[in-house]
Amino acid sequence: MKKLLLSAVVCSITSFGFSQELTPQVLSSAGTSFSNGSNVIDWTLGEPVTATLNNGTNSTSQGFHQNDLLITTVEEQGVSTISLFPNPVVDVLNISFTNPEETNSIELFTVEGKLLSSQTVSSSALSKLDMGKYSSGTYLLKVKNKLSSKSFRIIKTK
């Protein structure tokens, strides 16, 4: 029993002796920290609130501080990049694709959702969409292939 108690005391002392202290860090759009020796108050703008304390006349909120921030981007493989020009368009809208192996369907809608035009095009060449027959305004262009669907806002001028 003495060996067990001695082992527990030694483990406790060594764990406290070799522990590390982390300083909280905040990533926010605005904020600051105030200290008067014994008290510290930190505030930030845009932090999610995790707890609010209220005693009737005073209220304080506790925020969530993150020590590490990891940003990861994901790129879709095999999906082409689509370029539309000119936008705003007067007569002809040019549509180009970066992946020439795909076949795309192009649908033009009014902002109310009425289908005006639908066609299937090959990505190997520059596609042209005749916008001259439509009145000035805003239209939605939906480009679909077997992997993805993308929508664009097209502005038609005179």
Q: Which of 72, 105, 129 is the last residue of a domain?
A: 72
Residue ranges making up the domain that contains 119: 82-156
pLDDT digits (tens, 9 = 90+) for 45-92: 665 555 666 777 765 656 554 444 455 555 555 556 788 889 899 999
My answer on whether 42 and 99 are in the same domain is no
CA distance 46 to 33: 15
- pLDDT score of 6 more than 60: yes
Write phi, then psi, for 109 (nearest 5 degrees): -125, 155
Q: Note the helical H segments in the chain.
A: 2-17
My answer on whether 145 and 99 are in the same domain is yes
For 49, 80, 85, 86, 121, the CA distances from 124, given in Å and listed in that order, are 51, 11, 17, 20, 9
Q: Which of 14, 39, 72 is the last residue of a domain?
A: 72
Count how many domains the chain has.
2
- Residue 135: the pLDDT is 93
- pLDDT score of 122 more than 60: yes
The amino acid at 78: G
- pLDDT score of 12 more than 70: no
- pLDDT score of 144 more than 60: yes
